[in-house]
Chains A and B, each alone.
Chain A
Amino acid sequence: MTGPTPLVTAQDPGSRSAQLRRRLATGDLGSLPVVVVLVVVWVVFQALSPTFLSADNLVNLVQQSAATGVIALGVVLTLLLGQIDLSVGAVSGMAAATVAVGSVRLGWPLWLAVLVALAAGALVGLLYGAVHTRLRVPSFVFTLAGLLVVTGLQLRVLGAQGSVNLPFQAWLVRFCQTAFLDPALSWAIAGAVVVLYGAARLRDRARRVAAELSAPSLGSVGLRVGALAVLLAVTIAYLGTDRGVGAMFALFVGLVALTDLALRRTRWGRSVRAVGGDAEAARRAGVPVRRVLVSAFVACSTLAALGGVLAAGRLAAANQATGAPEVALTAIAAAVIGGTSMYGGRGSAWSALLGILVIQSVSTGLTLLNQDQAVRLVVTGLVLGVAVVVDGLQRRARES
């Protein structure tokens, strides 16, 4: 995607490998590095434990990643703004408790309990947004305060026993545990996605040609659409040899795709990246910085609450350990491992999916190798450490 004038081709025809190295160094390659990491992790674990890449294991793996992945998606939004919400785990725990207590103990309809939980999450985000934009307090401090308060609320809501079970026939539990997309439906959705994507690409290309802008060749459009089609087909076909695509995982991927669209193709998304890159410059360009910040905090907390609701459904229970500090740390780690910078303004919704898949793969793989929690924490910590170092190095490369 370069300009139409000869100036572009005149620009350094220099070695492609040098260009690639520079893009790698500055992080301009986007999601590619994590995809490579994910493939390496898969190959290594498959070599060590032959059942790792079995359809059965992969179905479990992606289902297991969905709830925390949704939380990580919210974290990506705050990181893009150069902010952080440390309380996402607590908010997810409170949401889980609200759903369980509301629907079981108080006898609310389940949908109402879910709505109340999501609204409570949104409210927390609204408070954070207000505190941040009015008082200009750094977000890691007041979300830490929020973490404590919300955890206290969660314990109070759960009451003395500290655990509430959801009935197995509840739709939420069935949705999260046993609902898999019908193969016909999976293929129909995948087909529709490929057709829509292809049509959008072609229309875009036609408009660019009509506007005399540089346009991708038909071949490269075909290659992209084909790659997407193959990726979806292989995933559906392979998971289909077992139980198929889990409804909860499909919901997660759908949310990631929608968020990606919002970030890349709407004014709101552009504002998010601008504010994350340079808030003062964005303000002087006329971006409503406060509104953008508040909206991102609200979206983050609401997604955290949704993640908690899904976790409750998957466990068929809410207890004091739902949304324990480890959840927030995993979600934040997933966002960073997935390639979203902690310095703001750089990253993508897809990093939530890719990052959580890396973490969940490491965790599942080590479990298959009979390693305990201790090893899992150490390895995940090391992966995060590497991701953070890479993020820092890329930032330095960009600034030099």
Chain B
Amino acid sequence: MSRTPVVSLRGVSRSFGAARALVGIDLDVHAHEVVAVVGDTGAGKSSLVGVLSGALAPDEGQVLVDGAAVSLTDPAAARALGIAAVFQDLALCANLDVVENLFLGQETVRGGLLDEVAMEKEAWRLLGGLAARVPSVRMPVAALSGAQRRSVAIARVLLGEPRVVLLDEPTASLGLTQVAEFLTLVERLRERGHAVLITSHSLSDLQAVADRIVVLRLGRTNGEFDADKASYEDLLAAMTGVPR
């Protein structure tokens, strides 16, 4: 693709003590594109999402947005640039209710005070488009099921129409129908022009929806595949490092 990628990584590395979570990663994500990042446990997928979302500072390398280097000092900075993430552990505050979680860090204010009415209305609208219904948006998240929590986290990422949506292992722990519903949602996001990056440790889930598959292994990119053409064996070999 010749267009400027919405977001890119150039030579990004990050270590945790002796563990090298990311090593010299280069990556581009374009608008209208779904990139799947697959890799085994500990391959560095969550670290990659962390760097892109401003939650994790890289030791080396750059993040580019629209081709210009940016410094994502914290998740709010990334959000301001139109990058939002659903983290692997969802990162919801269990003691807050659904509306409070959805708008956390970006609350609607009216005359100096929180505008609960506007936020609640928007919460119903956002959640209405998603699969797992929550019984009440004024319920603490602690009282919701796993699937409902995931819906809340996904609704939060959609709030404010970010240009780049990062989803860290969204299909883990989902049932078959739920995966199908989720993939429909991802396709809708691509149609609407979002750049989407999804991670998974399983090969089969994402191939149907992804345009490109990037394989991570031990913190390095170990191959990039066109989703239509890549064979299961090629991907598996890249993931495990065992030559075919």
> By the criterion CB–CB under 8 Å, are A266 and B114 in contact?
yes
Nearest A-chain residue to B55, judged by Cβ: A284
For the complex, give the distance between the alpha carbons of A198 and B87 in Å.
42
Q: Does B79 contact A (CB under 8 A)?
A: yes
- Whether the Cβ atoms of B136 and A3 lie closer than 8 Å is yes
- B114: which of A265, A278, A281, A345 is its contact (CB, 8 Å)? A265
User: Do residues A4 and B124 form an inter-chain contact, with CB atoms below 8 A?
Assistant: yes
Query: What are the residues of chain A within 8 A of B117 when measuring CB–CB?
Result: 204, 207-208, 211, 213
A384 within 8 A of B: no
* Interface-side segment among A269-277, A301-309, A324-332: A269-277
- Stretch binding the partner chain, chosen from A108-116, A285-293, A368-376: A285-293
Q: A398 an interface residue at 8 Å Cβ cutoff?
A: yes
B interface residues (Cβ-Cβ under 8 A, vs A): 53, 55, 74-76, 79, 85, 87, 90-96, 100-101, 104-107, 109, 112-114, 116-118, 120-121, 124, 133, 135-138, 140, 142, 156
**Number of residues from A at the complex interface, CB < 8 A:** 39
How far is it, in angstroms, between the C-alpha of A4 and the C-alpha of B96 when the chains are bound?
20
A18 CB contacts on chain B under 8 angstroms: none
Taking a contact as CB atoms closer than 8 A, the residue among B92, B113, B120 that contacts A213 in the complex is: B120
A280 at the binding interface (Cβ < 8 Å): yes
Q: Give the nearest-CB partner of B133 in chain A.
A: A7
Q: 3 tightest CB-CB pairs across the interface, nearest first?
A: A286-B105, A277-B95, A286-B76
Tell whether, in the assembled complex, residue B74 and residue A270 are in contact, meaning their CB atoms are under 8 Å apart: no
Residues of chain A from 1 to 26 with CB closer than 8 A to chain B in the complex? 1-5, 7-8, 11
Pick 5 A–B contacts, CB within 8 A, sort by A. Answer: A212-B121, A280-B91, A282-B104, A284-B87, A286-B104
B93 touches A267 (CB 8 A): no
* Residues of A near any B CB (own CB < 8 A): 1-5, 7-8, 11, 28, 204, 207-208, 211-213, 261, 265-267, 270-271, 273-274, 276-278, 280-288, 345-346, 398-399
Residues of chain B with a CB closer than 8 A to A213's CB: 117, 120-121, 124
The answer on a CB contact under 8 Å between B112 and A281 is no
- Are A270 and B135 touching (Cβ within 8 A)? no
Flag if B74 contacts A11 (CB, 8 Å): no
* Contact (Cβ within 8 A) B142 A274: no
Q: Give the docked Cα–Cα distance between A11 and B92 (Å).
A: 23
B89 (CB) vs chain A CBs: closest residue: A281
Contact indicator A8/B91 (Cβ below 8 Å)? no
Contact in complex: B136, A11 (CB < 8 Å):
yes
Q: Are B135 and A3 in contact (CB-based, < 8 A)? A: yes
- In angstroms, how far is the closest chain A Cβ from the Cβ of B78? 8
Q: CB < 8 Å: which of B94, B112, B116 contacts A278?
A: B94
Task: Check B95 against A270 for contact (C-beta < 8 Å).
Answer: no
Interface pair A345/B91, CB less than 8 Å apart: no
CB distance from B114 to the nearest CB of A (A): 5
Q: From the candidates A273, A283, A346, name the one contacting B75 in the complex (CB within 8 A).
A: A283
Closest B residue to A1 using CB positions = B138
Q: Would you call B93 and A278 a contact (CB within 8 A)?
A: yes
In angstroms, Cα B116 to Cα A212, docked, is 13
Give min CB distance, A312 to chain B, whole Å.
34
